[in-house]
């Protein structure tokens, strides 16, 4: 190959490396962003669940179905149940749905 051909090949290789670097940066930034969203949604969901449990405990105490001394145990049991619930696992969709959407957009843009 002549000098110009080599430079073109080297330039093409260099540009492919930069494109891959851009993809890696996008993936890292996306992961960090989605992690922040996951943490916020998870904390919000836990606080809403705890608030509902506190309200239910107050209702049960008022009705006489629950002793005041058992209030904290009632709330903690409810939170343990929440930790094992499907709702908590569905929050992981924060990671899955955007990734599938980006892949679908890339495929639609490049191959359709």
Per-residue pLDDT reduced to its tens digit, 38-62: 999 999 999 999 999 999 999 999 9
* Banded model confidence at residue 1, pLDDT cuts 50, 70, 90: very low
Does residue 3 fall inside a structural domain? no
Does residue 17 fall inside a structural domain? no
Residue 32 has pLDDT above 90, yes or no: yes
Does residue 52 fall inside a structural domain? yes
Q: For residue 91, what are the domain limits?
A: 34-111
Does residue 69 fall inside a structural domain? yes
Does residue 27 fall inside a structural domain? no
Does residue 60 fall inside a structural domain? yes
- % of the chain residues with pLDDT over 90: 65
What gap in Å lies between CA 82 and CA 89, rounded to an integer? 10
Task: Please check whether residue 96 is in contact with residue 71, taking contact to mean a CB–CB distance below 8 angstroms.
Answer: no
How many domains does the structure of the chain reveal?
1
Task: Please check whether residue 73 is in contact with residue 48, taking contact to mean a CB–CB distance below 8 angstroms.
Answer: no
Residue 2 has pLDDT above 70, yes or no: no
The burial of 57, by beta-carbon neighbours within 10 Å (0-12 exposed, 13-18 middle, 19 or more buried), is given as buried
Does residue 77 fall inside a structural domain? yes
Question: What is this structure's pTM?
Answer: 0.73
Does residue 63 fall inside a structural domain? yes
């Amino acid at each position: 190959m002549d000098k110009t051909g080599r430079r073109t090949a080297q330039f093409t290789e260099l540009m492919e490396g930069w494109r891959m670097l851009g993809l890696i940066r996008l993936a890292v930034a996306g992961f960090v962003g989605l992690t922040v969203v996951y943490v916020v949604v998870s904390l919000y969901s836990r606080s809403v669940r705890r608030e509902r449990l506190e309200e239910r405990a107050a209702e049960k105490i008022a009705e006489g179905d629950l002793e005041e001394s058992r209030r904290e145990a009632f709330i903690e049991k409810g939170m343990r149940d929440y930790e094992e619930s499907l709702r908590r696992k569905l929050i992981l969709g924060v990671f899955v749905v955007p990734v599938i959407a980006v892949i679908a957009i890339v495929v639609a843009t490049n191959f359709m």
